[in-house]
Amino acid sequence: MRPATVADAKAIAHLSRDLIETGLGWSWTPERVTRAIQDRNTLTVIACERDRVVAFAIMFFGDEHAHLSLLAVQPSHQRQGLGRQMMAWMMDAISVAGVATVHLELRTSNYTARRFYRALGFTETAYIPGYYRGREMALRMVKALRDPAAPLPVWNPPKIH
C-alpha cells in the first residue's frame, strides 16, 4: 500500500469505471483522477499486487470535514482487509489534520459497502434521490471523529534542556 502517483491515474480510473460507476457513465476519468492525485487537499492511496493496482481510495480533506470520494477493491482481493487498511490510513491522516467528520455517499443497493462502513463506525444519515446521474438514489453516511464545535487540542512540544 502506498500513496498514488500520476502514473497510477489510468489504473485507478479504470477500476472506478468497472467497479463503482457501472451503469452510470464514466466521470472519474484518468484526467479527473490525476487532478485528485495532484490536489494537496486530497489523499489517494492504492494497494498493489506486483505492479497491478488492486484497490484504491480517494479522500478530500477540508478544515473540519473530509469526504471519501471513492473506494474500491478488485473482487479477487476483497475480504482480505485491503479496504480496512486503506480506511485506517485515511482515518489516521485526517485525525492528525484535525478533521471532525468524514462523509461519504454510496448506492443504496450496495449492501456490502453499507455493512463495511457500518462496521467502521459510520452511521446512515440521509437518502438522496437521483444522486447518481439522476438515475439512482444514494445513501449518505458520516463518522464523527470529534465534536466539530470543540476546540482543537493544543500541542505543547517537550522542552529541550
Q: CB of 42 within 8 A of CB of 68?
A: no
SS3 116: helix
Q: What integer pLDDT is reported at residue 148 of this predicted model?
A: 61
CATH of domain 2-144: 3.40.630.30
Catalytic residue ranges = 105, 117
Report yes or no: 142 and 122 within 8 Å, Cβ to Cβ: yes
Ordered DSSP codes for 78-113: TTSSHHHHHHHHHHHHHHHHT--EEEEEEETT-HHH
pLDDT at residue 140 in the model: 93
Could you tell me if 42 and 59 are in contact, meaning their C-beta atoms sit under 8 angstroms apart?
yes
Question: In this structure, are residues 72 and 107 in contact, taking their beta carbons and an 8 Å threshold?
Answer: no
Instruction: Give residue 130's pLDDT.
Output: 77
pLDDT for res 129: 83
pLDDT at 161: 57
pLDDT in tens, 15-26: 999 988 887 878
Q: Which residues of the chain have pLDDT under 50?
A: none
Residue 75: per-residue pLDDT: 86
Burial 85-110 (b: 16+ CB within 10 A, else e): ebbebbbeebeeeebbbbbbbbbbee
| SS3 state at 54 | strand
Give me the pLDDT at residue 31, please: 95
Domain limits, the chain: 2-144
Euclidean distance between CA atoms 6 and 19, whole angstroms: 20
Q: In this predicted structure, what is the pLDDT of residue 137? A: 87
